Chain A
C-alpha cells in the first residue's frame, strides 16, 4: 500500500514564524500535492509538483512556497505565518499520468494553529 507520511499531526506556531510542513511518500510517485482543508470550503489546492524541482501554483498559493529536492519529499513553507493560515493541511501523491486519471493517496493531515 502507498504510504504518505506527514511529519506532524498537530503543530502550533506564532505569527511571523517561518513554518515547514514535511511530506514523504514511499511509492515512487511523480506527482505530489499540498491542500488546505477548511470547514465548508472542502479541499483547496495550494501547490503541486510533477517532478523533482518542478512546481506549479494551485488555486491559493499566496503566502506559501514549496520545495521538492527529492522525489519522495515535498515540503510546504509558510514564509511568515499568519492567523488566517490556521487550517488542516493535507499532502497527497499520485503516479504520473497526464489527464487527472490517477487517484491521489493522502496523508493523515497536519492541523496547524497559528497564534
Chain B
C-alpha cells in the first residue's frame, strides 16, 4: 500500500523568501503525485500534479514541484512567498490500478510573516 510523509508539521517563512515543502512517498511502481492547498475554512484546491514525463512540474499560483525517483520525493517550491500563501499544504499519492484511491499526507501548515 502507498504512503506519504510530510515531515514538517509547521513552517514559518518571511514574505518574499523562498519556500520548499517536503514530501516523501512510498509506492512500488510509478506513482501519481499531487499537491493540494487548503485555505482556512475551505476545501482542498489542486496546485499541481505529476503523472509522467518531465520531472519538474509547474502549477498554479507560481508553485512548482520536482519528482525525484531516487529519493522518493516530490517537494513543492516557490521562489518568493506572498502573504496569501499562508495555508495548509497536502501532498498525495495516487494508486495506479485502483479506482482513484489516493493517500494524503498529514499536511504542512505554512505561516508567512511580514
Contacts and interface: CB of A to CB of B under 8 A. Distances in A.
B90 to A, nearest CB: 6
B24 to A, nearest CB: 14
Interface in B40-57: 41-46, 49, 51
Interface size class on chain B is 20 to 34
Interface string B90-106: 10011111111110111
A48 B99 contact: yes
Nearest to A40: B106
Contacts of A92: 43-44
Q: Is the interface of B mostly helix, strand, loop or mixed?
A: loop
A90 B44 contact: yes
Interface stretch (A13-21, A65-73, A95-103): A95-103
Interface residues of A, number: 30
B43 A58 contact: no
B107 A42 contact: yes
Contact of B96 (A33, A99, A103): A99
Given A100-B32, A100-B100, A108 B41 contact: yes
Contacts of B45: 106
B100 A94 contact: yes
A42 B106 contact: yes
B94 A98 contact: no
Interface of B: 9, 32, 34, 36, 41-46, 49, 51, 90, 93-102, 104-107
